Structure 1
Amino acid sequence: MSDRGRDRTLIRNFQREIERQCRFAMLSLQDIEQSREEGDGLFFWYSVESLLVAVGRITRILWPEEESRFPEMRRELRDTLGLSDESPFLPLGIVEKFENFDRVLEDWYATSESRRFFDLYTEPLDVLADTTTSDRFRGYDTEKDSILFNGVSYPTAPVSRIVEDLAARAARELAKPRFDTE
């Protein structure tokens, strides 16, 4: 197989995974809305975490934090999807805090003065006005539709638009012929 054929295989597989993860993110956003309407807190937080996993995977594929074995292909992948070198998603910090909750919790325990622990809350922020942001863990601002972690806000509306657009771009790329026809 030529180098070019191998390049396309990897890029197409990345495009396929991007399209799939975008679909997972869209399903998660729908589930977040449904669980809010039904008042199902467990399903709500399951859906939030599912959204963050999908967004994290998309981000890591397109903008790897560590040195990629094929950085030129990651650039080409972004080019095929019409993306710049800058991620339209927020930095992975909030995703990593959810993923590494054990470490965050240990750090909080070692440094918190009050050890007032608020987690998995979906109330308006004024309810927690007297608490420091370091004592607020996973939260959801219902007025702004934003995922929160230690005072950092991650609005879901822009994510919805980005993943819908990105899924469509990836699907268009995947619909193109796999091999040169000339």
Structure 2
Amino acid sequence: MIGLQEMILIGEIVLQSKIAKRAAERLRTAHENFDHVETWCSIQSILVAAGNVSKVLWPSDKYKIRGQKLRQILKIEKNNPLSVRKFRNHFEHYDERIEDYFECNTQGAYIDLAMNPSLTSGIFGDVPLKTHRGYNSFNNTLVFRDETLDLNEILIALDNVLNNCKSYSRTVS
């Protein structure tokens, strides 16, 4: 990988990290203003930006070496939460998730885009089993069916990557 290519890819990581950071700011404001659409728009922006960073750092097999080199340069740990794109995929391929769900379930109940306080209405505070996508602003977590993603962990990981990018650019300049 040549120096210019490295700089362009690191620049993309910086841009996507800043997009996610700005979306997180919008998410707080949107929820405070009860703006349902902007809340989900912001969540989706965070997931997409984090997914884009993930694809640069953990690319397909064809570009595997590039990903390894960038992770090494930016001192990114193996267990970084950005390496997992499952939640981004749930949202990006939501149409497929709906098809799969209804192949196995014939019930009429389908709770989607659940917001507080509906997330705590299950037995003993658990998320109701029929919740497909949900957002809990009290702890900044997302729910997709029986899975939970802590957006704070993703945002912290992006911030750490962003700081590593800044440190790298100081050593190069």
Q: Which range, TM-score by smaller chain?
A: 0.7 to 0.9
Match of 1:167, as an amino acid? L
Matched, 1:114 2:107: yes
Residues 166 and 131 of structure 1, relative CA distance in 2, 3 Å threshold: closer
SS state of the match for residue 89, structure 1? helix
Q: Which protein shows a greater Rg?
A: 1
> How much identity, in percent, do the aligned residues show?
20
**Per-residue Cα deviation, 1:105-156 (whole angstroms, up to 9, x for no partner):** 11111111423111111123232459863x3211112332101111211112
Which of 54, 65, 72 is matched with 1:72 structurally?
65
> 1:126 is aligned with what amino acid?
T
Alignment of 1:45-60 (within 5 A): 45-60=40-55
Q: 2:167, 2:32 → 1: CA distance? A: 34
For the residue of structure 1 that corresponds to 2:81, the secondary structure is: coil
Of 28, 39, 42, the match for 1:44? 39
Size of the aligned set, in residue pairs, is 170
Write out aligned runs for 1:95-134 (5 A). 95-124=88-117, 125-129=119-123, 133=129
Question: Aligned AA for 1:28?
Answer: A
- TM-score normalized by the length of structure 2: 0.88
Once residues 131 and 85 of structure 1 are traced to their aligned partners in structure 2, the CA distance between those partners, rounded to angstroms, is 30
- CA distance in structure 2 between the aligned counterparts of 1:56 and 1:115, rounded to whole angstroms: 32
Cα shift at 1:87: 2.8
Q: Distance in 1 between matches of 2:104 and 2:128?
A: 12
Secondary structure of the residue aligned to 1:39 is coil
Output the aligned Cα RMSD: 2.1
Cα distance in 1 for residues equivalent to 2:159 and 2:77: 17
Which structure has more RCO (C-alpha within 8 Å, separation ≥ 6)? 1
